[in-house]
Amino acid sequence: MELIRSKASGFFSNFSVPRWMLFSHDTFAVYITFLFAYLLRFNLIPSGIPVASAAFHGLITTLVYVVFMLIFRSYAGLIRHTTLTDVSLVFVATSSSAIILILLSLIFRSVPLNQNFVVPISVILIHYVVITVFLFSMRISVKMLFRFATSSIKIPTKKVLLYGAGEMGFIVKRVLLSDPRGGFSVQGFIDDNRHLQGKKINGIHVYGPEILSPDFIAAQKIETLILSIRNISQTKKSEIIRKAIDINLEVLETPAMEKWLNGHLDIGHFRKVKLEDLLGRDPIKLDMELIRKGLAKKTILVTGAAGSIGSEIVRQLSLFSTYYVILVDQAETPVFLLENEMRKDFSHMKFKTLLADITNAEKMELIFQTYHPEIVFHAAAYKHVPLLEGNPHEAFRVNVGGTRVLINLSVRYGVQKFVLISTDKAVNPANIMGASKRLCEMLVQSEAMKDGIKTQFVTTRFGNVLGSNGSVIPLFKSQIENGGPVTVTHPEISRYFMTITEACQLVLEAGFIGKGGEIFLFDMGEPVKIVDLAVNMIRLSGYEPWKDIEIEFTGLRPGEKLFEEVLSHKEEILPTYHEKIKVAKEEHCDFKNEVIKVIEALHDIYGISDSEIIELFESLVPEYKLSKEEVNGHYLSQLNVEAK
C-alpha cells in the first residue's frame, strides 16, 4: 500500500494534466460513450446496430458537446482539486448538450430533410446518463487518488486566517487546502459582514475583525493573515495590515484575478504586502480629460528623466497621446537602463534619450533649438541633504544654476508650461539642499510675475517619496537584509511620505491646473515617524524589532529637522477643485533683488569659499538662516544629552 501511495505521490508531483489534454479526453469520451449508448439501446447485440448511422450520429453528438464544453469551460479545472463548482460545470455542459440534441432531433423529424440527421432520442438520453456519470466518476476518482497519495505526507503547517469570506475567500481556501505541500492550515475566516459571523463555511468558522487580538492569535497559534477580499479601500486595507503586524502576524495578499497564471490561483501567487500598502490612501482621482488635453500632441522635455521622479513622470506620460518626449539626464548608466525600459515597455511612445548636464547652457540650448519642447517637467536636482551640506557650491551650481538655465531657455523658445518639482524641505529650510530648492522656487515665481511672459511657470512641492533612489526605504531594506542594525537618527523624527506614482500623478494634474506663479502642495496624509517605518519594515520582512533586528538611534545630522513643514511663515494655504491639491499663497513675492544676486554669483561660483556660499544662501533665503540656527541648536543640545 505504501509503495502504491509513493508511486502515486511521485506521479502527482511530476505531472499535471494540461487543459487541452483534459478537453481532448472529454471529447473522446463523449464519442466512445455514445457508441456504447447505441450498443445499450440494442440490448448489447452488435449485429443490430446501424454502424454507419451510429458513427455519424456520434459525430453530431460530439460536435454539440464540444460547443457546450467550450462555452462552460468544464475542462478548465484541475482534476486533482475538483470541487462542487467543477462538477456543476460538467453537469450543466452535459445537460445543455442533451437538451439541444433532443430539440434538433425533434426539428429534423418534422422537416423534409435527410433522416440521417435524426439522432434517436432514446440513445441521446442513455448517452446523457452514461457520459455524465463517467465524467463525474473520473474527476472524483482522480481527486480521491490524489488525497490517498498525499495523505501520509507530513509537512509542518502554518496556521492562517483569511480576511474575507466571500467568493475570493472561498477560492483562496480551496487553493490552500487542496495542496498539502503548501504547508498552510486554514483556521478561520474574518469578515466584516455580521450575517456571516458565527457561521461556518465548509466547516471553517467565520469570525469578526475583533479576533485580531494578541490573546486569540497566541491561543490559536496563528502565524499568517491572508487578505482574500476584492474591492477593499486602501484605507481599510492599511488598517487591517497595521493591526496584523502589530500582533506579529505575517501578512500575505491575494493578487488581482487578471494576474493569475492561466486564470488559476496558485500558492506561489501570494505575496507579502508592501510598505506602500501601509500608507492607507485611496487611489487618486485625476481629471484625465484635463491632462489629456494638456498633453495631446505635445513635445515634452523631462529633466532628471532617469531618476526616481523623472522616470515615473515618463511612465505616466506613456498613458497619454504625446507627440514626442525628450528625456534628459547626465547619469550614463541610469539613462542606459531607462532607454532599455522605454524600448521594452513603452515602444508606442516617440522618445529621445539625451545625455546632458542642465547647467551646460550651450548643450541645453541645442536641445531646445532642435526639439522645441512645449512642456517642461524639471525634476533634475541634487537632493541628498548630508552630501550637499558638505558641497554647497554644487547645490548652488546644479539646483539653482540649472533651474536658471532652463527658465531662460523656456522663455526664449516659447515653452507653454514649465513645471518645477520642488520639496517640502524648501519650506523654512534648515539645510543647503532645502535652501537651494527654495531659491529655485523664487526664480520660477519671479519669472512668472514678469510682464509679457507667455510661459506658465508652476511649482509643485511634496515630501519624501517611498522607494526613491537614496531614500530611507532602500537603506532600511539593505540594513535588514544584512541582519541590522537599522539606524534612525532620532526617536521623534517624522516625515511626510508619498508613493512615486501618487506624487507624479499629482504633478501632472497640478501642472495643468496652474496658470502661472502658483506653488502647489499635495495632501500627503499624516506624517510618519521614521522609527515606526523601521519597525514596520522589519516586521514585514518577517523579523521582530529589537529582538531579531536591532534599531539604533544615531542622533540628528547637521541641517536635519525633527519635523518637515508644509508652509512657511509667510504663506497661507488655498484650496483648488482637487481635494488633494492646495495652493501656497505668499504675502510678498517680489524676488527681483534675489534673482540679480543669483545671476551675479553664478558667474564666479567657485571664486568664493564654502562659508561665503553659505552666507550667500542665508542672504538670499532669510528663513534659511533662522531655521538653521534653530535646528543646529536642537542638534547640539541633543548631542549633549546623548553624551551625558
pLDDT for position 404: 93
Crossing angle of helices 2-14 and 121-150, in 10° steps, is 110
* Closest to 66 measured CA to CA, from 121, 26, 11: 26
Report DSSP letters for 245-279, one per residue. Answer: HHTT-EEEEPPPGGGSBTTB--GGG-EEPPGGGGS
268 and 301 part of one domain: no
Average pLDDT over residues 153-181: 74
pLDDT for position 399: 94
Average pLDDT over residues 185-206: 85
- The total domain count for the chain is 3
pLDDT classification of 164: cutoffs 50, 70, 90: confident
Cell (9 digits) for 179: 495542496
380 and 456 part of one domain: yes
Average pLDDT over residues 43-51: 79
Burial-class residue 271 by CB neighbours within 10 Å (0-12, 13-18, 19+). exposed
71 and 199 part of one domain: no
Task: Tell me: cis bond preceding 485? Omega within 30 of 0 counts.
Answer: yes
126 and 241 part of one domain: no
409 and 264 part of one domain: no
Query: Which residues, at least 6 apart from 435, have a Cβ–Cβ distance to it below 8 Å?
Result: 395, 426, 429, 617, 620, 621, 624
Query: How does pLDDT run across 426-441, given as a tens digit for each residue?
Result: 888 888 999 999 999 9
pLDDT for position 129: 93
pLDDT for position 634: 45
Average pLDDT over residues 288-313: 90
Average pLDDT over residues 565-584: 76
| Boundary of a domain, candidates 273, 297, 322 | 273
Average pLDDT over residues 222-230: 85
pLDDT for position 597: 78
| Whether pLDDT at 640 is above 60 | no
pLDDT classification of 643: cutoffs 50, 70, 90: very low
Residue 297 known to be catalytic: no
Residue 211 lies in a domain: yes
Domain range enclosing 546 = 288-640
Q: Which residues of 343-367 are buried (b: 16+ CB within 10 A; e: fewer)?
A: eeebeebebbbbebebbebebbeeb
| Whether pLDDT at 520 is above 50 | yes
262 and 310 part of one domain: no
254 and 347 part of one domain: no
d(CA 185, CA 560): 48
Amino acid symbol at 95: S
Residue 233 lies in a domain: yes
Average pLDDT over residues 165-182: 73
pLDDT for position 66: 92
| Whether pLDDT at 624 is above 50 | yes
pLDDT classification of 635: cutoffs 50, 70, 90: very low
243 and 142 part of one domain: no
d(CA 455, CA 468): 30
How far is residue 469 from each of residues 250, 302, 311, 616, measured CA to CA in Å?
27, 17, 11, 29
For residues 287, 346, 403, 396, the Cα torsion angle rounded to the nearest 10 degrees is 120
Residue 333 lies in a domain: yes
Residue 280 lies in a domain: no
d(CA 35, CA 588): 93
Query: How does pLDDT run across 232-245, given as a tens digit for each residue?
Result: 777 788 888 888 88
| Whether pLDDT at 258 is above 70 | no
pLDDT for position 95: 92
Residue 283 lies in a domain: no
Residue 281 lies in a domain: no
Options 298, 425, 582, 628, the catalytic residue: 425
CB 77 within 8 A of CB 83: yes
pLDDT for position 468: 66
Which residues is 343 bridged to in the sheet?
none
Average pLDDT over residues 191-205: 84
| Boundary of a domain, candidates 208, 240, 273 | 273
Least confident interval from 14-28, 167-181, 347-361, 484-498: 167-181
Residue 102 lies in a domain: yes
28 and 111 part of one domain: yes
pLDDT for position 113: 61
215 and 260 part of one domain: yes
d(CA 379, CA 395): 14
CATH number at residue 333: 3.40.50.720
- Which DSSP category does 222 fall into? -
130 and 209 part of one domain: no
pLDDT classification of 590: cutoffs 50, 70, 90: low
pLDDT for position 642: 38
pLDDT classification of 422: cutoffs 50, 70, 90: very high
pLDDT for position 589: 64
| Percent of the chain residues past pLDDT 90, beyond the cut | 24
Average pLDDT over residues 55-74: 89
393 and 502 part of one domain: yes
CB 183 within 8 A of CB 156: yes
Amino acid symbol at 627: S
Q: What does R_g of the chain's alpha carbons equal in angstroms? A: 34
Supply the mean pLDDT for the chain: 82
Residue 282 lies in a domain: no
Least confident interval from 442-451, 534-543, 548-557, 568-577: 568-577
Which residues is 88 bridged to in the sheet?
none
**Helical segments of 273-372, H only:** 288-295, 308-317, 332-345, 361-371
Which residues is 162 bridged to in the sheet?
189, 226
- Which DSSP category does 306 fall into? T
CA 305 to chain centre: 21
| Boundary of a domain, candidates 248, 273, 298 | 273
